[in-house]
Structure 1
Amino acid sequence: MVLSFLALSACSRDFLDITPDGRTTLEEIFQDEKRTEAYLNRVYGSMPSYFWKYGFFDFLAPFSDEAYAYSGAALGWAAGMLTPTINPLHTPQERGKGVYHWGTFWAGIRDANVFLANVETANIPSPTNRERFRGEARLLRAFYFWELIKEYGPMPIVTEPFANDYDYTTLTRPTFEECVNFIASECDIVIGNSNLPMRITTEAERGRFTRAVAYAIKSQALLYNASPLWNPGNDKGRWTRAAEAAKQGVDALTAQGYALVGDYSNYFLSKTDISSAPGDRETIYEVHEPQIDPVFSIINSIPSKPGMFKVGATPTQELVDSYEMQATGEPVILGYQDEEHTQPIYNPASGYDPANPYVGRDPRFYATVWYNGAAYDNIGGEIHLMETYVGGADQLLVAPLGWAFTRTGYYLRKFIDPKLQSGQPEDTRWKKYRLAELYLNLAEAENEANGPTGLAYSAINTVRSRVHMPDLPQNLTQEQFRQRVRNERRVELAFEEQRFWDVRRWKILDQTDKLVTGMEITKEADHSFSYKRFVTEYRALWADKNLLMPIPLTDASIIPDFDLHQNPGY
């Protein structure tokens, strides 16, 4: 029996939403086989839009130090417009759904609870399907709860549908660890449910949760629980538990055929192929949301075709600085001499040449960033060498108005297929979880628990070797390894909605989010180039209170528990 995910919006958000008026009762829904399946579709329906659907065709990246975007949402964020009544991340979007995360995630939890309360007696003829549906709903509830507390901090653990006369004043706020323990326990139950597959192998089931997703959610939740934001005493036991969960996930998935894809650059240019022997063996979960407007595709609408009416999120100099040299495997810079990041401290061991800044870098740099001199394969049907220097065809734009050109000196390459006139394949999906993240979770947690052990080195070097980067040197201290694994996450997972949350859980927001810089390039008479760093944007949201999002004012007032009433600083 197959769930029809194409019917997600057309079906489950139609007759199922008329329950309150008495025309269709929950009992009637769950006594009908098709409506029962449709209600599970409804639970999936609270999956929000990710990818390029923040603000007006923005990634989450410009809300961190990965990128700059000249758009209302990103500019509002930089200006400090984050309050319990205004959140630039949750502004209405033309092509996204579930933008109001607070309500969206609670709705998903509610619908999952309703389904789980009725699944035992529901009309599901196949016992196998019943247990699979139960596992999916349980995992969806854990997913929504995890996304909720990652953004807003610990929340009441609700596992039953609310009755109409429920007394909300009885709700209290648990600790973050108690919430994570619940999520991990739910994931363990799903992992033990053999009726859920480890991988989706038929196209009709695309978008359904698997046991592999449970490993990914558990690993991420335990990693965050061990991180400085939620582990101020640096309890090593939490790191050990996070390392064990990540290793459990890596071992289980690789035993079932999961592996890193060979071509990092092309990995992000299409949706996962669904079969029993897929070419893409890395993706754990891909959000099943087709392009809402395939003609007005991602590249034509924003992220980075030079000269289009809106260039979108452009990589920052800070992101560019994070890519190491391939020959030596050494960082290019060791930090900055000034608070404005215009005077880098170059690493003499790296082999980096400031006069040729884009030569010999980590291959992931070339897969992620278009820079001055980079080849864009299809501008007007011809190969175009990027000209981001002053006066060039793709030059830096510093005027107060205009959206067509870069504001940092760079353009986004990741997710863009330069061989297509439209720039991005229409069927590209957002890869929410992938195996590389589990390896990096393992490297980080193992180092924090036990120092840079062979297990920590093996995990991070597996990710580096995929792109032919040298192994990390064997004599690193725990602190040195910590900095290297944090940088590895930055380059491997660039623009994948990890950095925004990583700098918060590490509590380094005040080090990363005060400003971002760009590169102004001048072409000299002898055709060489000179390079000048400059501040692109100063930002206001870097205080400790910005480590969490404020609970929306109208919702915070419902529950009188003082700790739940609002997050600190708001």
Structure 2
Amino acid sequence: MQDMKFQRLLWIILPLALFFNNCADVLDMAPDGNMQMDEVLSDPNKVEALLNSCYNNIPQKGFTYWFYENLPIAASDDAYTSYEAADDPITGIYSDANSASSHHMRDAYDGHGGGNNDYWIRSWQQIRLCTQFIELIDESAVNRETDRGRFKAEARVLRAFFYMELIKWFGKVPILEATVPFDADFSTMTRSSVYDVAKFIASDCDAALTEPNLPWRIDHQDDAMRVTKALALALKTKAMLFAASPLHNEGEDHWEEAYTTAKDAVAKLKANGYELFTKTTQPAVYGTGPGAALRQLVSQNADYSATPRDKETIFQIRSGGLFVWHIGYIGSNMPNTYKCGASPTQELVDAFETIDGQPILNLEKPYLDEKHLQPNYNASNTLYDPNNPYANRDPRFDETVLHNGSTIVFDSKTVEIETFIGGAHAPNFDITDKSFSRTGYYPTKMVTPGASGNNQINSSNWKYYRLGETLLDLAEAAAEAGHLNDARAAANEVRARSGMPDLPASLSQEELILRIRNERRVELAWEEQRYFDLRRWQKPTGNLSETCKWFTAMVITKKNDGGFSYTRQNVSSSSRGGWQNRDLLLPLPLEEAATLEAVTGQKWQNTGW
């Protein structure tokens, strides 16, 4: 039995996907399985197909998860799902029905065909393929000699990408710099620190950055999803941000290094044509308000051109990943809709400042009680009115959240959202009814406004990295390292896009860190960042009880005079799962961890699993 388990481990670390078909578009080539390796390496087209295999298994995002639920968003404090069916992964997450052998986040279907242990197995498969390609390309046939360097650089950036995915989900992992033979001695294999993995990611990215034939930007549709020098910089920045964060830093202070890495990345990105998308090119669709540009950026594909409209997006997947078909949009039994899905929480709504730049709540202690029913209001905020809570808010609020009084165009008609009791879109706390929000809010950030019909599909591409995110990575690292002016400047650049005032120069370091963390939440809402931010900000002994245990909805009553009264209510009478210490990282697959522990004599499984 032990030999069988070890053989399974070998198949994880040593996948044999080596043989590929010809195809006119290199990124569409698929495995064949009928050729010998020397046949592949002697044919330039098949070498390109081998590179294509390195692009496989990039995780799908948006609403392509099993049963159209965006799991990392629904499992963060930004959202609560409308529907908890017995066989839904999100139900398993909320009820803590997870183990190392079966975990609803780690093993969820995400558009690739499902299967167990997907994040773990797929990432290692791709790392193996990238490493193999790096080792073989120097002696392989290529159509143009300039291809050789570019192909190797692409494989290095892709290897860095998949190592970054492993860090995000699992923390420490082994560093495999070379392909591992079947008869290797695994007894000395160890899980490297996140810092060491981040340095390995940086070394791959630095090598790619020196390659003259690796472009800064993809300018033709045929090369869609190819990696670039820009992605290498974004990955370096992200890896060091994680390495410096409390969950992963092992008591070491890496913030200065994270800061210098991010500052260098932002400077080089800007020097090579990357900039924030600050003005909508479709005012008839997105309006002319200060939040319009961000809404267009996240709900439309980046274009491939030498002079693109969107100069902010760094890396997007090749084909539609958002897949909004009124799934995760309005639901509410409106025509041609299917389900509501994850909906914004009152906690997310509370994160949006008023237009004068003042937080609604005291960010150090947002709530006075465990269940979040007693908001701890910011005494310096004079614009927020609990009896008129949606007025005078950060413009990004209306571009992210549908609330009572919002308007949308649906079925060629203007519809006003009614989330008050008895209204057309009122919340329903019945977990068996998938059509209505359980929070009193609906998401709108990823939806193109103003569609003429009621089958409002948005299949735009998921954007993994964009300059706005990297700027906020810089802002956080700078604040943590004590470079407060640089931290404010980076955050203010992002805020200015949406018409928000600068962060005050009078903020202390601790206050500035809290403001930048909140800025990340607002700017990157619904982009799968919050799930990881909440975790990496915790110490290894911490948990998510303050943020991910209790959640609130807004229950609105319409008064006789036409006004409204607002009452906070818990979404559920019981706490939601997924907040314990063990939930800071996903478990390694049970059998793989057990086998590695038996072979190495060292602990491999993450704490609590």
- Per the normalisation by structure 2, the TM-score is 0.87
Comparing 427-436 with 63-72, which one deviates more in the overlay? 63-72
1:285: which partner in 2?
A: 315
Question: Residues of 2 paired with 1:409 and 1:424: CA distance?
Answer: 21
1:489: which partner in 2?
A: 520
Structure 1's 83 and 394: CA in aligned 2 closer, same or farther, altered over 3 A? same
Question: Residues of 1 paired with 2:512 and 2:443: CA distance?
Answer: 29
1:249 aligns with 2:265: yes
Give 1:269-280 correspondences, 5 Å limit. Answer: 269-280=299-310
Q: How many residues align?
A: 551
Provide the secondary structure at the position in 1 that maps to 2:139. coil
Q: Of 192, 199, 207, which aligns to 2:217?
A: 199
1:520 aligns with 2:551: no
Give 1:81-92 correspondences, 5 Å limit. Answer: 81-92=97-108
Q: What do residues 420-464 of structure 1 show as CA deviations (whole Å, max 9, x unaligned)?
A: 235655440001000011111111111111252x21111110010
Unaligned regions of 5+ residues in structure 1, if any?
Answer: none
Residue type of the alignment partner of 1:82: N
CA positional deviation for 1:5: 9.1
Give 1:24-43 correspondences, 5 Å limit. Answer: 24-43=35-54
Question: Residues of 2 paired with 1:373 and 1:535: CA distance?
Answer: 22
CA positional deviation for 1:562: 4.2
1:44 aligns with 2:55: yes
Question: Residues of 2 paired with 1:423 and 1:375: CA distance?
Answer: 17
Structure 1's 229 and 406: CA in aligned 2 closer, same or farther, altered over 3 A? same
Question: Residues of 2 paired with 1:4 and 1:317: CA distance?
Answer: 50
CA positional deviation for 1:301: 3.9
1:165 aligns with 2:183: yes
Give 1:551-570 correspondences, 5 Å limit. Answer: 551-559=588-596, 560-570=599-609
Question: Residues of 2 paired with 1:234 and 1:165: CA distance?
Answer: 36
Question: Residues of 2 paired with 1:542 and 1:445: CA distance?
Answer: 25
- Per the normalisation by structure 1, the TM-score is 0.93
2:393: which partner in 1?
A: 361
1:216 aligns with 2:234: yes
Q: Of 341, 348, 371, which aligns to 1:319?
A: 348
Residue type of the alignment partner of 1:36: V
**Residue 258 of structure 1 contacts residue 282 of structure 1 at CA under 8 Å; is this kept in 2?**
yes
Question: Residues of 2 paired with 1:207 and 1:568: CA distance?
Answer: 36
Structure 1's 7 and 362: CA in aligned 2 closer, same or farther, altered over 3 A? same
Q: Of 248, 268, 289, which aligns to 2:298?
A: 268
Structure 1's 104 and 529: CA in aligned 2 closer, same or farther, altered over 3 A? same
Identical-residue share of aligned pairs (%): 38
Residue type of the alignment partner of 2:584: L
Q: What do residues 61-92 of structure 1 show as CA deviations (whole Å, max 9, x unaligned)?
A: 11110101124211211111221011111445
Residue type of the alignment partner of 1:355: N
Question: Residues of 1 paired with 2:320 and 2:360: CA distance?
Answer: 39
2:536: which partner in 1?
A: 505
1:469 aligns with 2:500: yes
Question: Residues of 1 paired with 2:352 and 2:490: CA distance?
Answer: 19
**Residue 475 of structure 2 contacts residue 490 of structure 2 at CA under 8 Å; is this kept in 1?**
yes
Residue type of the alignment partner of 1:466: R
Structure 1's 360 and 189: CA in aligned 2 closer, same or farther, altered over 3 A? same
Q: Of 443, 448, 453, which aligns to 2:475?
A: 443
Question: Residues of 1 paired with 2:258 and 2:319: CA distance?
Answer: 31
CA positional deviation for 1:24: 1.4
1:63: which partner in 2?
A: 75
2:158: which partner in 1?
A: 140
Q: What do residues 343-371 of structure 1 show as CA deviations (whole Å, max 9, x unaligned)?
A: 11222322101111111111111110000
Provide the secondary structure at the position in 2 that maps to 1:46. coil
Residue type of the alignment partner of 1:435: L
Comparing 47-56 with 179-188, which one deviates more in the overlay? 47-56
**Residue 56 of structure 1 contacts residue 94 of structure 1 at CA under 8 Å; is this kept in 2?**
no
Residue type of the alignment partner of 1:268: V
1:455 aligns with 2:455: no
Comparing 57-66 with 282-291, which one deviates more in the overlay? 282-291
Provide the secondary structure at the position in 2 that maps to 1:355. coil
Question: Residues of 2 paired with 1:227 and 1:92: CA distance?
Answer: 27
1:122: which partner in 2?
A: 140
1:531 aligns with 2:530: no
Residue type of the alignment partner of 2:605: Q
Residue type of the alignment partner of 2:306: S
CA positional deviation for 1:97: 5.0
Residue type of the alignment partner of 2:579: W
2:130: which partner in 1?
A: 112
Question: Residues of 1 paired with 2:506 and 2:113: CA distance?
Answer: 48
Provide the secondary structure at the position in 1 that maps to 2:495. helix
Question: Residues of 1 paired with 2:24 and 2:184: CA distance?
Answer: 33
Residue type of the alignment partner of 1:358: Y
CA positional deviation for 1:169: 3.1
2:424: which partner in 1?
A: 393
Question: Residues of 1 paired with 2:139 and 2:91: CA distance?
Answer: 51
CA positional deviation for 1:126: 1.4
Comparing 513-522 with 556-565, which one deviates more in the overlay? 556-565
Provide the secondary structure at the position in 1 that maps to 2:246. coil
Structure 1's 48 and 353: CA in aligned 2 closer, same or farther, altered over 3 A? same
Residue type of the alignment partner of 1:356: N
Question: Residues of 2 paired with 1:107 and 1:402: CA distance?
Answer: 39
Provide the secondary structure at the position in 2 that maps to 1:568. coil
Comparing 108-117 with 462-471, which one deviates more in the overlay? 108-117
Give 1:276-425 correspondences, 5 Å limit. Answer: 276-290=306-320, 297-307=323-333, 308-326=337-355, 328-334=356-362, 335-350=366-381, 351-378=383-410, 380-420=411-451, 421=453, 424=456
Structure 1's 389 and 61: CA in aligned 2 closer, same or farther, altered over 3 A? same
Question: Residues of 2 paired with 1:487 and 1:481: CA distance?
Answer: 10
**Residue 305 of structure 1 contacts residue 423 of structure 1 at CA under 8 Å; is this kept in 2?**
no
Question: Residues of 2 paired with 1:425 and 1:505: CA distance?
Answer: 34
Question: Residues of 2 paired with 1:158 and 1:304: CA distance?
Answer: 46
Question: Residues of 2 paired with 1:104 and 1:92: CA distance?
Answer: 13
Question: Residues of 1 paired with 2:459 and 2:173: CA distance?
Answer: 36
Provide the secondary structure at the position in 2 that maps to 1:331. coil
Structure 1's 87 and 557: CA in aligned 2 closer, same or farther, altered over 3 A? same
Structure 1's 539 and 520: CA in aligned 2 closer, same or farther, altered over 3 A? same
**Residue 62 of structure 2 contacts residue 321 of structure 2 at CA under 8 Å; is this kept in 1?**
no
1:149: which partner in 2?
A: 167
CA positional deviation for 1:234: 5.2
